[in-house]
Chains A and B, each alone.
Chain A
C-alpha cells in the first residue's frame, strides 16, 4: 500500500474558479503534511505545511487536514493560469518524507 495517494488528474478548472486537490495517507501516526508545487521541468517548491486538524489559509491557498479520515486537501481560490502545475502531497511517516505521485492542474484562461 502506498504511503500517500493522490488522484493523478489531470484536473482542469477555468480561471477564477476554485481548484480542489486531495490526498490520503496510510500512516495514522503521521504528524506533518505538506503541499508542493512543481512546474514542468522544475524542482518542487513548498507552498503549504499543516500539522493540526482543520484549515490553514495562506493567501489564495487553504490546506485542510482531517487526521481521523487520514485526508489532506489543498484549495486554490481564484485560480490563475500561473497555478497550472503538478501539486505534490507529502507526509512525514516513520521519520521519512513520502510523496504522492502528484495531481496535474491546468487553469484555463
Chain B
C-alpha cells in the first residue's frame, strides 16, 4: 500500500532563517506531488505541484521554492522565512491528474517567530 511521510511535524523558526520540509511517498511510482499551505482558519492554498522529477509548477509567487530531486521526494524550501510564512504545510500525492484522489501527509505546523 502507498504511504506518505512528511517531516518534521512541528517547527519553530526565527524570521530570516532558512526552511526545508521534506516529503516522501512509498509504494507508488511517478506520483503527482503537491505542497499546500493552510493558514489558521483558512482553506488550503496550493503552493507547488509536480508531475515528475525536476518538473515544478508554482501557483503563488512568494519566497518559497520546491524541488523534486527524486521520483518520490518533494522538498519545500525558503532562504529567508517571513512571519507570514507561518501555517500548516501539507504534502499530498495522487496518481494521474484526473479521477484520482489526493492523499495527504501528516502536515508540518510551522511557526515563524
**A interface residues with partner B (beta carbon < 8 Å):** 31-32, 34, 41-46, 49, 51, 88, 90, 92, 95-102
Selected A-B contacts with CB under 8 Å, 23 pairs: A31-B99, A32-B98, A32-B99, A34-B102, A42-B106, A42-B107, A43-B106, A43-B107, A44-B44, A44-B90, A45-B104, A49-B101, A51-B99, A88-B43, A90-B102, A92-B98, A95-B98, A97-B94, A97-B102, A98-B46, A100-B43, A101-B42, A102-B43
B103 within 8 A of A: yes
Docked CA distance A32–B102 (Å) = 11
**Interface SS of chain A: helix, strand, loop or mixed?**
strand
Q: Which residues from chain B sit less than 8 Å from chain A, CB to CB?
A: 34, 36, 42-44, 46, 49, 90, 92, 94, 97-107, 109
Residues in B whose Cβ lies below 8 Å from that of A32: 98-100
Q: In the complex, are the beta carbons of A34 and B43 less than 8 A apart?
A: no
User: Which of B34, B97, B104 is A43 in contact with, Cβ under 8 Å?
Assistant: B104
Which residues of chain B have C-beta atoms less than 8 A from A41's C-beta?
A: 109
Does B98 lie within 8 Å of A97, measured CB to CB?
Answer: no
